[in-house]
Amino acid sequence: MTTSHWILDKVSRLISQAKAEATADTEKTASGSGAARSLESRLDGVVRKGDEALSPRELRRILGELQSVVDSRISEAEAGRRAGVIAQWYDKAGAQERIDCMYLMNDKFAHDPQVIRAARAEYEAARGVSELGHAEIRLRQALESPRTRLLQRFAGFAQGMRFLVNLRAELLPLLRTHKGLVALDAELASLFSNWFDVAFLELRRISWDSPASLVEKLIRYAAVHASRSWADVYI
């Protein structure tokens, strides 16, 4: 088959698929069945349907960019740069587009059950033998999802931590209606518990020598001991 024939065949297939999807969508609407498509169906699709935020093509583009962030062949600096590009897009995206991005992070970077089962079986078989330590390491690695690596690399650019904190702040109220995102929330919570452990805190006494910007933030945001003025801070 020549290149031109291959292209024509490919285009013909895409047009046929688009027509089939459009017909199915019309039939669903006519019958009153407007069930939302799964993420996999949308990624495999050709055209946007109903009130879907991102088109299949846009979904695949964002997924490809997310996958490039966890590419093991690139440096941490380059991974952080790529994550920063996605964060810039996310900052300008609409609410539904952000939810689509959350689902990509949640669903497409999950654990591989087969890898976990194989690592667990190896660990169980190695009990009481010299290979137990290596088997435990492989099990630990299997239990770390690609999602963890993705979020860790988002923390690698200048505003990365702020992005992740804001991401979870947006995610929490969504869990009531988007229960499928619970794994992404749990992943963020686990990472934050490690990053913000009390052992990494540095306690400093607030005094008249403290930066004015720090005192102003304390007055504005302190929820336990409300302060009305600078004098309240030092009492």
Q: Model confidence at 17, in pLDDT bands (50, 70, 90)?
A: very low
* Pair (134, 198) in one structural domain: yes
Q: What CA–CA distances, in Å, run from 151 to 3, 87, 190, 204?
A: 41, 12, 11, 30
Q: What CA–CA distances, in Å, run from 106 to 52, 82, 97, 167, 217?
A: 18, 18, 14, 12, 34
Our count of domains for the chain comes to: 2
For residue 226, tell me if it sits in a domain.
yes
* Pair (89, 49) in one structural domain: yes
Print the domain residue range for 122. Answer: 3-27+37-202
Residue 181: φ, ψ to 5°: -90, 5
d(CA 120, CA 102): 29
Whether the per-residue pLDDT at 38 is higher than 80: the answer is: yes
* Pair (182, 208) in one structural domain: no
Q: Average pLDDT for residues 134-161, to the nearest whole number?
A: 88
What are the tens digits of pLDDT across the range 211-223? 888 777 777 766 5
**Contact yes or no for 181/171 (Cβ under 8 A):** yes
* Pair (177, 221) in one structural domain: no
Q: State the Cα torsion 156-146-94-62 to the nearest 10°.
A: 90
* Pair (131, 56) in one structural domain: yes
d(CA 74, CA 170): 30
* Pair (127, 61) in one structural domain: yes
**pLDDT of amino acid 5:** 40
As a whole number of angstroms, the longest Cα–Cα distance in the chain is 84
For residue 224, tell me if it sits in a domain.
yes
Q: Using CB atoms within 10 A of its CB, is residue 130 exposed (0-12), middle (13-18) or buried (19+)?
A: exposed
> Taking the chain, what is the end-to-end CA distance rounded to the nearest angstrom?
84
What are the tens digits of pLDDT across the range 55-89? 999 999 999 999 999 998 999 999 999 999 999 99
For residue 116, tell me if it sits in a domain.
yes
Q: Model confidence at 182, in pLDDT bands (50, 70, 90)?
A: very high
- When the pLDDT of each residue in the chain is averaged and rounded to a whole number, the result is 80
Whether the per-residue pLDDT at 102 is higher than 50: the answer is: yes
* Pair (167, 222) in one structural domain: no
Q: Average pLDDT for residues 28-39, to the nearest whole number?
A: 59
* Pair (98, 9) in one structural domain: yes
For residue 32, tell me if it sits in a domain.
no
Number of other CB atoms surrounding residue 15 within 10 Å: 11
Q: How many residues does the chain have?
A: 235
* Pair (209, 162) in one structural domain: no
Q: What CA–CA distances, in Å, run from 93 to 29, 53, 97?
A: 28, 10, 6
* Pair (63, 120) in one structural domain: yes
Lowest mean per-residue pLDDT among 115-129, 150-164, 188-202, 221-235: 221-235
d(CA 115, CA 172): 30
